[in-house]
Amino acid sequence: MDVASLTKLLSPEGWALLNALPPYDEQQAMALATRLRSEGVDPDLAAAALTQSRLRARARAKLGAFADGMLLTPDGLEQATRLLVAALHARRYLAAGVTKVADLTCGVGADALAFAGVGLDVLATDVDEVTAALATVNLRAFPEAEVRHADGLTLDLATEGVDGVYADPARRTRGGRRIFDPAAYAPPLDAVWDLRDRVPALGIKVGPGIPHHGLPADAETQWVSVDGDVVEAGLWFGPLAPEGPGRSAHVLRSDVRAVPDGSSSEGTDRSGTVSRTLRTGPDDADLVPDVGAVGSYLYEPDGAVVRAGLVAHAAAELGGRLVDRTIAYVTTDSPAPVPPSGTAALATGYRVLDVMPFGLKRLKAYLRERGVGRLTVKKRGTAVTPEQLRSQLALKGDAAATLVLTRVAGRQHVLVVEPLAR
């Protein structure tokens, strides 16, 4: 979005038009644009309003009802923290006794919304003028929040009364390509790390693909997943990491929690969210799991657990072993223990129906005999692609099946499984 488009949207006419638009419908967008032009609406204003309507519709999955009153950009929405996760960030600062947070790279303001929403004073900055203006609009309901068009790294934090710092460095080029080198983040990761000498309560959001090698030894690095999707990693320093440095995985699941053995979960709030955190301890960072034959049950650890390198810890909690030293699948001979009420499962469970060495001809015959026409394929440790496999199998029939393609004891195998009820 450019300054001219923003100015038109923020005019009384533009704001009224934007908020009067019907819920965004891709199939009706062209007709709506044509109608607005026929009614004499400025074409540039109509285009800007329709773009915002589309972005707001996309943003609801991340930002909930707040999205309906926000102004957004595609890049800003892409990097914005989900409100559910931003609330976790805010609670860290609140629990640490922080009173004023400097959000150095506020973007469209998702994290700043969460900070202000729990009563923290917020000083939010962004180096892009239009983005800072959007954040100002998005935070208009929170007098606790001030937005500035500035380089956050130049702030005099002590003079501003800041006792907590948060940063979410840009990890994409303007063309949308991901940046994997932390030195190429904007601002560079090292420059943000250095702030912990001035303000110990420092938090930094980074991409979930950040390698373990080179992580700061004085930080808790936590990977977060939402309904199985790993959405971020965060580096937390000083009082924001009350349990000390190390790696952790925070698993969030909405609606109903996954129960490994399929039993019902009494007392679970179906409209809420359950969670679970798994951490390394000072003596178990190098925990080595058992490896053995495929048992009656298979468990797929949550992606945050895998990214955090805590598969061995999950296997210990599940009472299982790995099917292969290099593969993040856990197997057990009996159902794993049910998670405590109100907590999320660390893994998705399956009952194992069959195990066989991988072979296209054998697998095709197996599925044909059982009339399988619909196939769910999961894979780890194999180059086979599900789409190619389905094409080669030429499936016919009304039955459904779930296959797991993976290595067992170093060799390619197929596991026929059925998901356990959640």
Give the pLDDT confidence of 122-159 residue by residue, as tens digits.
Answer: 999 999 999 999 999 999 999 999 999 999 999 999 99
Task: Please check the confidence at residue 267 and state whether its pLDDT lies above 50.
Answer: no
Task: Please check the confidence at residue 179 and state whether its pLDDT lies above 80.
Answer: no
- Binned at pLDDT 50, 70 and 90, residue 187 comes out as confident
pLDDT tens by residue, 205-227:
998 998 898 889 999 999 999 99
- The separation between the first and the last C-alpha atoms of the chain, rounded to the nearest angstrom, is 43
pLDDT tens by residue, 22-73:
999 999 999 999 999 999 999 999 999 999 999 999 999 999 999 999 999 9
Distance CA 201, CA 58 (A): 33
Q: Determine the residue type at 367.
A: L
Task: Please check the confidence at residue 291 and state whether its pLDDT lies above 90.
Answer: yes
| Angle, alpha carbons 289-291-233 (nearest 5°) | 45
Task: Please check the confidence at residue 269 and state whether its pLDDT lies above 50.
Answer: no
Q: Determine the residue type at 274.
A: V
Q: Determine the residue type at 369.
A: E
Map out the domains of the chain as residue ranges. Answer: 3-63, 76-206, 278-350, 353-419
Q: What is the structure's pLDDT at 186?
A: 75
Of the listed ranges 64-73, 123-132, 176-185, 364-373, the one predicted with least confidence: 176-185
Phi and psi based region of residue 300 (left: phi greater than 0; alpha: psi -120 to 50; beta: remaining): beta
Task: Please check the confidence at residue 260 and state whether its pLDDT lies above 90.
Answer: no
Q: What is the CB neighbour count within 10 angstroms for residue 50? A: 19
Q: What is the structure's pLDDT at 281?
A: 66
Q: What is the structure's pLDDT at 287?
A: 78
Task: Please check the confidence at residue 283 and state whether its pLDDT lies above 90.
Answer: no
Classify 273 as helix, strand or coil: strand
- Binned at pLDDT 50, 70 and 90, residue 254 comes out as confident
- Binned at pLDDT 50, 70 and 90, residue 282 comes out as low
Distance CA 208, CA 293 (A): 31
Q: What is the structure's pLDDT at 273?
A: 85
Mean pLDDT (the chain) is 90
Q: What is the structure's pLDDT at 266?
A: 32
Q: What is the structure's pLDDT at 7?
A: 93
In percent, how much of the chain has pLDDT > 90? 78
Pick 76-206's CATH classification: 3.40.50.720, 3.40.50.150, 2.120.10.30, 3.40.50.300: 3.40.50.150
Average pLDDT over residues 161-183: 75
Of the listed ranges 101-110, 275-284, 404-413, the one predicted with least confidence: 275-284
Closest CA to 414 of 406, 134, 422: 406
Which parts of 216-329 are beta strand (E)? Answer: 219-226, 229-237, 246-254, 273-279, 297-301, 321-322
Q: What is the structure's pLDDT at 178?
A: 65
- Binned at pLDDT 50, 70 and 90, residue 238 comes out as very high
Q: What is the structure's pLDDT at 73?
A: 94
